[in-house]
Amino acid sequence: MDSAGANLDRAAAAQADQARVGALLAMNYAELRALLTGDPAKAKVWLQSAARRGLPEAQLRLGRMLLEDGDMSRAIAWFQKAADAGNAEAMNMVGRAFENGLGVATDLPAAAIWYRRSARAGSAWGEYNLANLLFDGRGVDRDLTAAFTLYQRASERGHARAMNLLGRCLEEGWGCAIDPVRAADWYRRSAEAGYFRAQINHAAVLAEQGLGDEAARWLEKAEAGGS
């Protein structure tokens, strides 16, 4: 194909992208949900158009789809674009990539930097993942007090796993004063949010209180994988 033909193809592709983006922006919630949860191949085409036109949410979704497909390098490239545009959840995904070596070399200090950016931008996952690094001293100096604070912030945003670890901190006195009453409350909240580890911890608290039947019901939920 000559250069003129290639230019025409690029122009046509750009027009198609623009048309899809316009259609996406005009969709109501139900229409958008139906598109994105329907045929994955069709959803990917629309997401690619929106991602190429610079929409961070589309870049994040496309990155997640590519990650599920095992296309690590392309997934991380889209996460990076969305993160550079200020998307908090994409910043967290870049952090995950560096923590776990997904499409990039493992780099815990870099993971901590991106988790911190994500946390500061308001992501509960960013807060939770940064807290885990601080708690274990991985890529950063160990700081149980800072980890506790981040678990608490993520818990207040409704992060079920953070709620369970906040309960553990309060039970054990990690980065905070021991407070069994608050620990039990956060275990309960996490259990009710469906996290199986918290359901086990909540069951243990109930058993100590002599509520064996209720404890058994929570253990059944935990064995089923949480619900």
Residue 20 above 60 pLDDT? yes
**Average pLDDT, integer, range 60-65:** 90
Residue 151 lies in a domain: no
Rounded Cα gap, residues 177 and 136, in angstroms: 19
Nearest to 66 by CA among 47, 89, 39: 47
Higher-confidence residue: 23 or 132? 132
Residue 200 above 90 pLDDT? yes
pLDDT score at 51: 84
Residue where the block lists tokens 């623009």: 18
Q: How confident is the model at residue 142 (pLDDT cuts 50, 70, 90)?
A: very high
**Average pLDDT, integer, range 176-181:** 98
Question: What's the longest Cα–Cα distance across the chain?
Answer: 80
Judged by average pLDDT, the poorest of 11-20, 76-85, 88-97, 102-111 is 11-20
Tens of pLDDT, residue by residue over 25-45, are 665 646 555 565 556 777 777
Residue 58 lies in a domain: no
pLDDT score at 58: 86
43 and 75 in a single domain? The answer is no
Question: 138: which DSSP letter?
Answer: S
Judged by average pLDDT, the poorest of 31-40, 87-96, 214-223 is 31-40
CATH number of the domain that residue 94 is part of:
1.25.40.10
Residue 9 above 60 pLDDT? no
Q: How confident is the model at residue 5 (pLDDT cuts 50, 70, 90)?
A: low
Q: Rounded to an integer, what is the distance from CA 49 to the centroid of its chain?
A: 23
CATH number of the domain that residue 184 is part of:
1.25.40
Nearest to 194 by CA among 152, 216, 163: 163
pLDDT score at 47: 80
Task: Answer yes or no: are the C-beta atoms of 117 and 129 closer than 8 Å.
Answer: no
**103 is in which domain, residue-wise?**
66-142
**Average pLDDT, integer, range 54-68:** 89
Residue 213 above 60 pLDDT? yes
128 and 196 in a single domain? The answer is no
pLDDT score at 86: 96
- % of the chain beyond a pLDDT of 90: 70
Rounded Cα gap, residues 176 and 183, in angstroms: 11
The amino acid occupying position 71 is: D
Rounded Cα gap, residues 160 and 154, in angstroms: 9
23 and 79 in a single domain? The answer is no
Q: What is the pTM (predicted TM-score) of this model?
A: 0.82
Residues for the chain: how many in total? 227
Residue 219 lies in a domain: yes
C-alpha dihedral sign at 10, 15, 18, 19? negative
45 and 73 in a single domain? The answer is no
165 and 192 in a single domain? The answer is yes
Q: How confident is the model at residue 17 (pLDDT cuts 50, 70, 90)?
A: low
> What contacts 141, CB < 8 A, 6 or more positions away?
none
Residue 19 above 70 pLDDT? no
